[in-house]
Amino acid sequence: MQIISNLIRRNRFIFFVFLLLVYLLFLSPRLQNSEKESGQGSNVSILPLTMRYVKRYYVDQPAINPRAMLVNGLNKLERTLDEVLVSFPNGENSPSFSVRVMNEEKTFSMTDVVDLDSAAGKVEEVFRFVMPRLVSKEPTAIDVEYAVTDEMLKTLDPYSGIITPQVYQEFTIETEGSFGGLGIVIGIRDGNLTVIAPIEGTPAYRVGIKPNDRIVQIEDESTVNMSLIEAVGKLRGPKGSVVNIHIHREGLPEPKKFSIVRDTINIQSVEAFNLSDGIIYVKIRDFQKNTLSNLRDTLKDFAKNGTLKGLILDLRGNPGGLLDQAERISDLFLKSGVVVTTEIGNSKKPYYAQHEDYDFNGRIVVLVDSGSASASEIVAGAIKNNDRGVVIGQRTFGKGSVQQIFDLNDGSALKLTIAHYLTPGDISIQDIGITPDIGIQPAVISREITISSPPENNLREKSNGQKETTDKPAYTISYLETQEPVTDPDEETPEEALSRQERRKKIENDFYVAVAKEIIRSSGSAEREKMLGEAQDKIHRISQDEERKIEEMWQEIGVDWSLDGAFPGASTLDVKLEPGVLRAKAGDQLTVTAEVENTGPATIYRLNAITKSENEIFNGKEFTFGRLNPGEKRKWSVTFEIPRWVLTREDEI
C-alpha cells in the first residue's frame, strides 16, 4: 500500500529543563575538559581541528571514510544554500566533482582526497569558492561550517557531531544541575511563545504567572518570530537580576507587565517518595554532576526514619548523562563485581564496585522502558547482571557507546564517540538494549485506537537500528491502560510542571510501581533470582487479572479475545486492504480497512495485524480481529490523520 504524505515534526521546548542535546548523550567527565590543540585561535576554522580530534580519538579508526565524509558534507552544503549545486557523478568514487554557485561553476579533483586532512582541505577549498559568491547573507559562514562538519561526522555514527555554541551552553547548564532563571516551562503553541506551566516554588510561580499565558514581549523586544533558544537566552540571567516580561492573558484587556527577580533554578534529577511498608520510590531523570550526592542524601534521609526494606528505582525515560555518576550510583547497591567495562580498540578497562561505597542492601526493583538509554542502561545492567535486583518494564534503548566533548575554538564543541561500554559479563547492549526480567506492556483498547502488542512482536524496524536478541523476559505482563496516550505533544503536561502532590498521585496509580511493590513484598531475599522465584505466584495472579480485564474490554467492543484454553494452530490467511493506494492532502483523514479470511483448517486466536512504514504517521497501527474460525472473515478499520504541516512524499505500508 502506498500513501503520499510527509511529516515535519514540531518540537516543544522545555525552558526549565533544556533537553535538546543531553538526551542520548553519554559523557565521561574525566575526559570532558579536553586538551587544546596548539596554534588554534579565534580565526581558525573548526573543520581542521575537528578532523584532528577524529584522527586521534575516534573509537573505530578503520570505519573512517574520508571520501564519504566529503560527499556527505558537500551534499549538506547544497541542501543548506539555495544558490549552490554540487554534483558527484559516481558518489565517493568520483575522480572529480563540480560546484555551481549562481552562474559560476568549478570542478574539483577527488584524487587527492586520501585522509581526513585532505578531506578537510578540500571542503575549505570549496568554501573559498562558494562563500564570496553568495547573494544571501543567511545562513552565516560559520553556521554553514557547523552544518557541513556535522554532516561529515554522521558518516561515523549517530552520536558524533558538532554542538553549536548556544546548544553547548545549554548542555553545560544541564549537566551542572542549576541555572539562573524564572522557573517556567514554555513552548510554541499556535505560533505564540506560551507558558505551559510555572514551576512550583520558583520566581514565576510566586509572581502569579499562569499556564497558557502568552509571553508577547521580553524587555523591549517583541517575541513575534523569536526562536525558543533566543527566548531562553533572554529569560535566563544571574540570580538577583530582574527581567521584565509582558503577558497576554485571556480576560485581560491588554498585556500585563511582570517584573521578575531571577533566582537559582535547580534541575532536580532525583525525586523520592515514601510508599509505606519500608518501600521508597526514587526517580532519576538524568545523570548530572550532583545526581550521586542527591541520591545518597535521599537514601540517608529515609533510613533515619525507619528500616528500608525495598527500593523502586525508576529509570524510565532517563536518557543518560555522566559516566562517573552511573558508575558510582551502581556502587551504592553493589558490594563487589564489575559495574561496567570500557572498551577502546582491543583494550578493556573494567570498573569494579567499591565495597566502601555500598549504601543499600535491601531489595531493589528497577523500572525501565525504551527511553532508558546510556547511563541508565549502565545502572540497570549492573544491578541485573550482578544478581542484585529485578528489572521490569520494556527493553531499553540500546546505546552502548561513550562520547567525549572537545571544546572547539569559538564556543562550539565536538561530540565524538571515543569508546564502547560493556555491561557485566562483557555483554554489549549496543542496538540491543537490556531485556527486563519482567516485561510489561500496556494495552490501550478502543475502536479509535489500539495498542496491545509487546515491542518484541512489533514489526517496526526501530530508527536506532535495534537488533534482534534471543534474551527474553522471564515473565511478561500485559495490562489494561485506561488512559489513552497523548497524541499531540502540545496537549501533554510536562512532569516538571506538576506539583509534588500531583506527581505522587501519578506514582500511586502507576501499574509498573504497583507490580514493583508486590515483588518487594513477596520477597525475603535481595538476590535477583530468589526475588523472581518468590514472586512467581504473585506475578502470575497479576497477569491473569489483567488478561481478564483486557478480554472483557475487547468483548465490549465486539472482539472475541478469548483462548478457550487452546493455543493457535497452523492455519492460513487471505488478507485484503482497501483502498490499495491512497492520495491525501495535508489535514486529511485516511481510513484503511483490512479484511482477513481464515482459509485454513484451524481456529486462529487473538489475531492482530500491525502496520510497518518508515513514516511514523502510518507505522505501528494495529488492526484487531481476535478469534477467527475456519472460513470466517473479519474486518477492522484504522484512520490515519495527516498533519497540516506535511510536505509531499510517497510512503509504503
Q: Which residues contact 600 (CB under 8 A, 6 or more apart)?
A: 570, 571, 572, 573, 630
Angle at 271 between CA 265 and CA 275, to 5 degrees: 150
Distance (Å, rounded) from C-alpha 448 to C-alpha 441?
19
Task: Compute how many other C-beta atoms are within 10 angstroms of the C-beta atom of residue 622.
Answer: 18
- Catalytic, 501? Answer no
Dihedral angle computed from the Cα positions of residues 115, 120, 124 and 126, in that order, rounded to the nearest 10 degrees: 60
Side-chain half-sphere exposure of 182, counting CA atoms within 13 A = 29
Phi/psi of residue 613, each to 5°?
-155, 150
Q: Does residue 399 carry a catalytic annotation?
A: yes
Asked if 369 and 439 touch (Cβ cutoff 8 Å), the reply is no
Beta bridge partners of 4: 583, 650
Please report where in the chains the cell 537580576 appears, as a residue.
Answer: 241
Q: Helix, strand, or coil here: 442?
A: strand
Phi, psi of 606, deg, nearest 5: 50, 50
- Of 76, 122, 384, 399, which residue is the catalytic one? 399
- Of 45, 372, 403, 453, the catalytic one is 403
- What nine digits make up the cell of 376? 541508565
Q: Which three cell numbers stand for residue 168?
A: 553547548
Query: 375 in helix, strand or coil?
Result: helix
Q: Is 441 a catalytic residue?
A: no
Which residues contact residue 606 at a Cβ distance below 8 angstroms, ignoring those fewer than 6 apart? Answer: 561, 563, 568, 626, 627
Q: Evaluate whether 406 touches 53 at the Cβ level (below 8 Å).
A: yes
Task: Specify the amino acid at residue 11.
Answer: N
Catalytic residue among 5, 28, 374, 441: 374
Which H helix or E strand runs over 175? helix 165-176
What is the spatial distance between Cα 603 and Cα 608, in angstroms, rounded to a whole number? 14
- Strand, helix or coil for residue 501: helix
HEC assignment per residue over 22-60: CCCCEECHHHHCCCCCCCCCCCCCHHHHHHHHHHHHCCC
Cα end-to-end distance, the chain, whole Å: 5
525 and 531 in contact (C-beta within 8 Å)? yes
In this structure, are residues 581 and 646 in contact, taking their beta carbons and an 8 Å threshold? no
Omega before 579 within 30 of 0, i.e. cis: yes
Q: Which of 393, 435, 461 is nearest to 610 (CA)?
A: 461
User: Which residues are the active-site residues?
Assistant: 374, 399, 403
